[in-house]
Amino acid sequence: MTLRTATDGDWAAMAVLGAVGFGEDWDAESMAAWRTLSAPDRSLVVCDGDTVVGMSGYLDMELTVPGGAVLPAAGISYVVVAPTHRRCGVLRMMYDELHRRIADSGYPIAALTASEGGIYARFGYGPATIDQQLTIDRRFAQLHPDAPDPGGVRLVKAADSGAEFAAIYQRWRRRVPGGLARPQALWDDLLADRENTREGGTEWFAMLHADGYVLYRAHGEHPKTVRVGEFRAVTPAAHAALWRALLGLDLMGNLVIETSPDDPMPYLLTDTRLATTTGRTDALWLRMMNIPAVLKARRYSSESAELAVVMAVHDGFRGDGGRFALTISEGVADCVPTQAEAEVELGLDVLSSLYLGAHRASALAAAGRLRCRDDALVRRLDAAFVTDVGAQIGYHF
């Protein structure tokens, strides 16, 4: 089998492989939109003779980290191996080359979303944001008397409101760890609202506030279920106002949303139990390519005590691990390679999971994934990595 950069002539075969791998055809215009985030040398194919049996690539992305800094990120996507060539090392072959290219291009961090949870830790990726699915039984939900009622929500036509959504999203993604810049081509793709993306639901319905918006579809028969596609609020007032409007959809039954575990939505209700957690899964996976650069880029909790720790980070895939001295003072980190004895030992996947604050060092230590003899030090790591704003993926890719 041979591996090479994909050419324009490969895309027809890649479209077939993609349709087989994911069990659905991808619209040609949509594929063209996503390809604007890539470049000719960023897509690979593996061929058996003349037949394309594997493909993968990476997108040029911008990732917000705690404190609001934005890192260039290589977003791996469109990974498929033909069912005729599974478990022969084709994915590994492509990942070796992709990560060589990502490192050579100077990306400090790589990202992906995973079709299955058991594949990517071996390549140094850890789940770094959590999608919590809430299902709200709207018919019984009562707003709490203390819930704000700021108003200001308008019903709008999604296709006509792209500029307003994009301006709010831009503010949102700059403050939320895991936020991703969304280029115009992807806005056009989202608002094209193609039939094959609706999963049996209606076209987009949209509500707009000066500091937030929601896109949703209605599914099924009476009472219909509202499935929220995107809810972005930059202020608590926008969050409360949009939820009031959604809860006012009198003929609808359940409201379903994927959100961050920190979403204050349940507290808007007199009976928080009516916002039931009906799912919890990983969303954004990260892999640090340059550990010191990435650890220095984020802010840490300034309320935590000063921290100095030597970590041994294992990278079983490439040689990006090693021993590092991390010092944090007033929320700012320094990080340098060191020969000093390690106090904490962990895999690169685990360090990547800690990065956006969605997972705690103490929980990973309890599971044996982070090893440290000093419990007080683990608690100091918890305190330092915690974030003011809950991490959430900008969009799936």
Q: Annotated catalytic sites, by residue?
A: 120, 397
Using CB under 6 A, which of 14, 45, 63, 91 touches ligand COA?
Answer: 91
Tokens 């690979």 map to which residue? Answer: 44
Under rule CB under 6 A, residue 16 binds ligand COA:
no
DSSP states along 99-124: HHHHHHTT-SEEEE--SSTTSSGGGT
Find the shortest distance in angstroms from Cβ 215 to ligand COA.
24
Under rule CB under 6 A, residue 157 binds ligand COA:
no
Find the shortest distance in angstroms from Cβ 56 to ligand COA.
8
Under rule CB under 6 A, residue 391 binds ligand COA:
no
Do 358 and 327 contact (CB within 8 A), yes or no?
Answer: no
Under rule CB under 6 A, residue 79 binds ligand COA:
yes
Find the shortest distance in angstroms from Cβ 258 to ligand COA.
18
Under rule CB under 6 A, residue 2 binds ligand COA:
no
Find the shortest distance in angstroms from Cβ 395 to ligand COA.
15
Judged by beta carbon, residue 263 or residue 282, the one nearer ligand COA is 282
Q: Which tokens is 199 given?
A: 């999963």
Under rule CB under 6 A, residue 86 binds ligand COA:
yes
CB hemisphere CA count around 55 (13 angstroms): 21
Under rule CB under 6 A, residue 59 binds ligand COA:
no
The residue type at 135: T
Do 211 and 232 contact (CB within 8 A), yes or no?
Answer: no
**Residue 194 marked as a ligand binder:** no
Query: Residue 329 pairs with which residues in a beta bridge?
Result: 332
d(CA 132, CA 258): 5
- Of 245, 232, 240, 247, which Cα lies nearest the Cα of 267? 240
- Of 283, 289, 284, 282, which Cα lies nearest the Cα of 110? 289
Rg (CA), the chain: 22
Do 252 and 223 contact (CB within 8 A), yes or no?
Answer: yes
Judged by beta carbon, residue 263 or residue 349, the one nearer ligand COA is 349
**Residue 116 marked as a ligand binder:** yes
Judged by beta carbon, residue 87 or residue 222, the one nearer ligand COA is 87
Query: Residue 48 pairs with which residues in a beta bridge?
Result: 51
Contact map string, positions 98 to 127, toward ligand COA, x by CB under 6 A: ----------------xxx-xx--x-----
Find the shortest distance in angstroms from Cβ 106 to ligand COA.
24
CB hemisphere CA count around 258 (13 angstroms): 16
Binding site feature residues for acetyl-CoA: 79-81, 87-92, 115-116
Binding site for ligand COA (CB under 6 A): 21, 79-81, 86-92, 114-116, 118-119, 122
